[in-house]
Amino acid sequence: MNIRKYSPLIVIVLTVVVIQLVSHFKPEAKKKAATPAPTISVESMTLQPQRYQVVLDSFGKISPRTRGQLSSQVSGQIIDVNPNFNEGGFFEAGDVLLTIDPRDYKVQVEIAEAELAEMRVGYEEQQALADQAQKDWRNLGRKGKASDFALRKPQLEAAKLKIDSARAKLKQSRLAVERTQIKAPYRGRVLVKSVDIGGVVSSATKLAEIYAVDRLEIALPLKNSELPFIELPESNLSTKRPKATIINSLGADSQRWSATVVRTAGAIDEKTQQLYITAQIDDPFGDTNADRRPLKIGQFVTAQIEGRTVEQAMIIPNSAIYQGSYIYLLKDGLLQRTEIKVAWQNAHEALISEGVQGGDELVITPLGQVSSGTRVKIVGAEQENKADKRSVR
């Protein structure tokens, strides 16, 4: 009964004691050390201005410098064909590629010769009559000057013109006989063959498509941004002839051909809005290239064109450029995002005109979304510092 009576008092006393103990022995929060700033390991390179040879990349299609149709100038049946008159066959200038039956034309030559002989006889007759008319005029003792008609001068002139006409007809007949032999106009190759032995052709019939093998050409497009970095031949008197390397990728291995830029197009291409230049390969089928794979008409090739040499050029790898407009430099151990201007670039490196200078430390490690001001460390720097300390000891 006494415990129940004093239980409220006991609870109050115990509560006060617990509060006093808690307030006296309250827990203290431990202070944590400051979290170190995140550090990224990167590689870098020190930029220095250098003398740089610009090489422009392009592509184009092989075409002959001289290409044309071989046509007949006379009619008749083809009675002989040169063994080399096949698609891909080579021929020399003056080679007889086809022969058309010449018999009809030889008959015309004989007729023309007979007509010429007849006209010569007629001329001699008129000459004799003219001489006799002159004598008769003097013997008759006529006074005054005889007319040309009385002296047979018009008749003599007409007879002379008939000789000239017969001579021209004979020359034309002989030329027709000569044209029955279709000769190669230059050293070349057959691209397309259109006729064969036994075929009957008429004047202007297309016999074949041929091209000269002394030179090949490649039309190469250039971007507008590349034009300041090359000196182009703009006239026939221009001495600027940039060198080019044509790369033939057909086959097991690529082969490189030396070429020269010989001319520049007179206008920008309307479809591509690019300027085309023409590179020329000399004697591609000559003996010096006999052991190489021949270039084919219509084949696509790549080209490397010699450009200007830039002094004090700032060159960086393309992998260090982000979105084509900025890079990361290293300043006092911190990343610094820097806007740049690319003047020119190829597949591997870029020429920078604004944003960098000599001595800048360029970060070349690929980075994701990294904020400017992030602390970084250079890969290999820690090992170098340890090596330096060991050397001091």
pLDDT at 391: 44
pLDDT at 133: 73
Q: Check if the beta carbon of residue 70 is closer than 8 Å to that of residue 97.
A: yes
| Domain 42-51+311-392 in CATH 2.40.420.20 | yes
Query: 53 Cβ partners below 8 Å, 6+ apart?
Result: 306, 307, 309
- Return the residue matching tokens 């066959």: 89
Q: Parse the chain into domains and list their residue ranges.
A: 42-51+311-392, 56-65+215-309, 68-210
Residue-level pLDDT, tens digit, the chain, 393 residues = 455 666 666 667 677 666 766 666 655 655 555 555 557 889 999 999 999 999 999 999 999 999 999 999 999 999 999 999 999 999 999 999 999 999 999 999 999 999 999 999 988 888 888 787 777 777 776 666 767 676 678 888 888 999 999 999 999 999 999 999 999 999 999 999 999 999 999 998 999 999 999 999 999 999 998 999 999 988 777 678 999 999 998 877 889 999 999 999 999 999 999 999 999 999 999 888 888 888 999 999 999 999 999 999 999 999 999 999 999 999 988 999 999 999 999 989 999 999 999 999 999 998 877 888 888 888 865 544 444 444 434
pLDDT at 38: 56
Multiple choice CATH, 56-65+215-309, 3.40.50.300, 1.10.645.10, 3.40.50.2000, 2.40.30.170:
2.40.30.170
The torsion angle over the Cα atoms of residues 277, 351, 256 and 278, rounded to 10 degrees, is 0
Helices 103-139 and 153-178: crossing angle in degrees, nearest 10, is: 170
Relative to beta strand 188-193, strand 206-212 is antiparallel
For residue 132, the number of C-alpha atoms closer than 13 Å in the C-beta half-sphere is: 6
d(CA 183, CA 92): 9
Relative to beta strand 96-100, strand 67-71 is unpaired
Give the DSSP per-residue string, 297-328: TT-EEEEEEEEEEEEEEEEEEGGG-BTTTEEE
Q: Classify 150 as helix, strand or coil.
A: coil
Q: Check if the beta carbon of residue 181 is closer than 8 Å to that of residue 99.
A: yes
Q: Check if the beta carbon of residue 135 is closer than 8 Å to that of residue 152.
A: no
pLDDT at 143: 62
Closest by Cα among 45, 47, 55, 51 to 344: 55
Domains 42-51+311-392 and 68-210 are alike in CATH topology: no
Give the DSSP per-residue string, 42-104: E-EEE---EEEEEEEEEEEEEEESSEEEEE-SS-EEEEEE-TT-STT-EE-TT-EEEEE--HH
d(CA 314, CA 358): 8
The full length of the chain comes to 393
Q: What is the pTM of this model?
A: 0.72
| 109: enclosing H helix or E strand | helix 103-139
Q: Looking at the domain covering 68-210, what would its CATH class be?
A: mainly beta
pLDDT at 387: 41
pLDDT at 188: 95
